[in-house]
Structure 1
Amino acid sequence: MTATWTFAVDRADLAKTVITEGVTPALTDGEVLLRVDRVGITANNVTYAVLGETMRYWRFFPGDLGPSWGLPPLWGFAEVAETTIPEIKIGQRLYGYLPPAGHLVVRPERLDDTGFRDGSAHRADLPSPYNAYRLTTGDPVHRADQEDLLALFRPLFFTSFMLADQVADNDFYGAEAIVLSSASSRTAYATAFELHGRGPRLIGLTSPRNVAFTTALGCYDQVVPYSRIGALDTVPTVYLDLSGSPAHRTELRFRLGAQLIRDIAVGLTTGIPNAEAAGEVFFAPTQMRKRRHDWGRDGLDARFAEAWHRFAATAGSWTDVRTGQGPEGLRQAWLDVLAGRVPPRTGRTVRF
């Protein structure tokens, strides 16, 4: 057994947190112990917590603190600390979905040269993309000097890549304009990066304090503060909603009327669930499954890697990484992101 720790949040009050200490369980045949090494903390992780019940995110890492506490999932890197499987070696490094904890026990299945899936019973009926662990060796996306960017952006960029692909795959729904809310958020501007110059005019909605940053990105044809929604051109428009703000949706619908031809909920940077209010909900694994059928797994991986490297070459200049240390660093990063205290240029990562 190995000493470890766990960070948990109160499901009813995400600002209430606890860090507990303990030991890892003894491994049984077929299990592997991963040591969590580096993670990113973004608004995406807060979304997992806000939607923890409805989208089953609390079920990935159930913990043992009782039903009122939850472990918000994180993305990042881990190393194999113990193994009962000969094909998996101590020290191998992986990227994937991780708990806010020092260690994770997984039950690898579908092993190949790229990694494996966690076949633990409690994850069997959860969305399969979240159960994949990718070896850094041979991963066309991985570069050791980009691990902070990967921890911060990779899951968001995958969502952005698939969202942009779905929009383009549907001939932009016949729109002349695509409006993205929370335009200074990473998921929004990565989507705009992918769509820019390919079709409709891209319009980013953001708060007044973020207009300058969002404009400087160069991803949008126009950046508009929320207070100016009423001045948008009334042309056929697709709304990609990453903020979840009811007031902004209401104002946009009033302004555009029948010219709002698609209203798609993508995220909720305000922490307000928006799926019921929107016309439809985007779920990246659905488009991923379509493209795996269209392109094959290798084809999808190759296209994603090409898009990532194109994006990362630019995104590094947009991001000031601030790295915390240990469980307390994780707690502080969580509280800062939850409270909206992280400027759009700043990316929070934590090392353990």
Structure 2
Amino acid sequence: MADSWTFAVARDDLGRSTLVDGATPEVVDGEALLRVDRVGLTANNVTYAVLGDAMRYWEFFPPAARGLGPQWGLPPLWGFAEVVASTVAGVEVGQRVYGYLPPAGHLVVRPDRVDASGFRDASPHRAELPSPYNAYRSTTGDPAYQADHEDLLILFRPLFFTSFMLADQVVDNGFYGAEALLMSSASSKTAYAAAFELRGRGPRLVGLTSPGNLAFTRSLGCYDEVVPYDDISALDTIPTVYLDLSGTPSTRAALRQHLGDRLVRDIAVGLTNQTPNADAAEEVFFAPVQMRKRGQDWGREGLDQRFTEAWQRFTAVVSGWLDVQVGVGPEALQQAWADVLAGRTPPRVGHVVQL
């Protein structure tokens, strides 16, 4: 490839993608340049693309800045980048940061609120976008960072943050008075990380999954029971909260028919099968909302401390549940996108790409 590059997908057909060459951007006063180094690709990134318009995810990394037309979108990725040029005090060349990155060789940022923990990107086009996505954590000032666990951070940190805040909201609301918590897409990383957090703290945890993922999901030990989707009629008719991570209309309909008024809460938590589910659910979980609440309740340091403690509990076990597949280069990123989009990635596999 050239000295810089960009991967983009067609906004109206996520299976169509392109790789384009470009020049390395120059920085002006107040800016820093990040070289994208190592990123992950999971169903979460597909979710960002599916909800790109509704949740404004396409706006983080505008295609026009990279010579691409508006029919293209840059699906955001999580991972590590290195500062390769900087005009901002406290943001030093060679600094390694974790955060929200484009599927591209470089990213120009306008660092603001710089401190030992990192900085925020104050680029004007990101000012009105959800603030948690604008933070870049320096590896030297991040209590959750461990050099030998970089790939776990890449693959799980954003998902685990969602899982952590989801579990916290459920606990914060007294489990909504339920006797059972039911989670679809139970084999997904976001679901089983939330189940890991909730296990043993209250209601019975029941995972719903496809027949092919039953054995894997049961092997995790996160759920009290794992049930295939076609066996919903066997569920106990007790007060139940449904945490929907799949967005499958037929699953919701079967649950409502079977549980009736025993379905005390129906909460959409993103999606994994590309069927937007927000309209059909009674409510939608959005992690930054609960994060803001807990930021007020606990303060930023208190929230960071609780997250780090939960993360360390999780990383102590999750490496045994995961096979990391590492690809190299932009073409490997393009292939990983195609595999995840098509559902060809087994639940045990996590895609990491070294760029």
TM class by smaller structure: over 0.9
Counterpart-to-counterpart distance in 1, 2:200 and 2:160:
18
For residues 156-214 of structure 1, give each alpha carbon's deviation from its aligned partner in whole angstroms, at most 9, with x where no partner exists: 00000000000000000000000000000000000000000000000000000000000
1:276 aligned residue (275, 279, 299): 279
Look up the match of 1:301.
Answer: 304
Counterpart-to-counterpart distance in 1, 2:91 and 2:180:
49
Contact 2:77 2:100 in 1 (8 A): yes
Look up the match of 1:170.
Answer: 173
Look up the match of 1:23.
Answer: 23
Counterpart-to-counterpart distance in 2, 1:342 and 1:52:
22
Counterpart-to-counterpart distance in 2, 1:86 and 1:267:
38
Query: Does residue 34 of structure 1 match 2:23?
Result: no
Counterpart-to-counterpart distance in 1, 2:9 and 2:192:
29
Measure how far apart 1:138 and its partner are: 2.2
Look up the match of 2:56.
Answer: 56
Counterpart-to-counterpart distance in 2, 1:41 and 1:225:
26
Counterpart-to-counterpart distance in 2, 1:166 and 1:25:
41
Counterpart-to-counterpart distance in 1, 2:234 and 2:168:
29
Measure how far apart 1:67 and its partner are: 1.0
Provide the secondary structure at the position in 2 that maps to 1:137. helix
Q: Which runs of 5+ in 2 are unaligned?
A: none
Amino acid at match of 1:145: D
Look up the match of 2:202.
Answer: 199
CA-atom RMSD in angstroms: 0.7
For residues 35-91 of structure 1, give each alpha carbon's deviation from its aligned partner in whole angstroms, at most 9, with x where no partner exists: 000111000000000000000000000122111100000000000011111321100
Provide the secondary structure at the position in 1 that maps to 2:346. coil
Counterpart-to-counterpart distance in 1, 2:232 and 2:15:
32
For residues 204-261 of structure 1, give each alpha carbon's deviation from its aligned partner in whole angstroms, at most 9, with x where no partner exists: 0000000000000000000000010111111000000000000000001100000000
**Aligned counterparts, 1:66-145, within 5 A:** 66-145=69-148
Measure how far apart 1:267 and its partner are: 1.5
2:152 aligned residue (149, 164, 189): 149
Query: Does residue 326 of structure 1 match 2:332?
Result: no
Counterpart-to-counterpart distance in 2, 1:151 and 1:88:
22
Look up the match of 1:185.
Answer: 188
Query: Does residue 228 of structure 1 match 2:223?
Result: no
Contact 2:112 2:121 in 1 (8 A): yes
Provide the secondary structure at the position in 1 that maps to 2:63. coil
Contact 2:90 2:115 in 1 (8 A): no
Q: Percent identity?
A: 70
Amino acid at match of 1:152: L
Counterpart-to-counterpart distance in 2, 1:127 and 1:138:
22
2:261 aligned residue (258, 262, 284): 258
Counterpart-to-counterpart distance in 1, 2:25 and 2:184:
44
1:160 aligned residue (144, 151, 163): 163
Look up the match of 2:252.
Answer: 249
Counterpart-to-counterpart distance in 2, 1:33 and 1:249:
45
Look up the match of 1:339.
Answer: 342
Counterpart-to-counterpart distance in 2, 1:100 and 1:263:
34
1:212 aligned residue (210, 215, 230): 215
Counterpart-to-counterpart distance in 1, 2:63 and 2:117:
28
Measure how far apart 1:7 and its partner are: 0.1
Counterpart-to-counterpart distance in 2, 1:132 and 1:228:
43
Counterpart-to-counterpart distance in 1, 2:26 and 2:269:
40
Look up the match of 1:8.
Answer: 8
Measure how far apart 1:24 and its partner are: 2.5
Look up the match of 1:45.
Answer: 45
For residues 12-38 of structure 1, give each alpha carbon's deviation from its aligned partner in whole angstroms, at most 9, with x where no partner exists: 110100000011332110000000001
Provide the secondary structure at the position in 2 that maps to 1:150. helix
Counterpart-to-counterpart distance in 2, 1:280 and 1:21:
42
Counterpart-to-counterpart distance in 1, 2:271 and 2:307:
24
Measure how far apart 1:343 and its partner are: 0.4
Contact 2:40 2:155 in 1 (8 A): yes
For residues 89-133 of structure 1, give each alpha carbon's deviation from its aligned partner in whole angstroms, at most 9, with x where no partner exists: 100000000000010000000111101100001000000000000
Counterpart-to-counterpart distance in 1, 2:204 and 2:43:
26
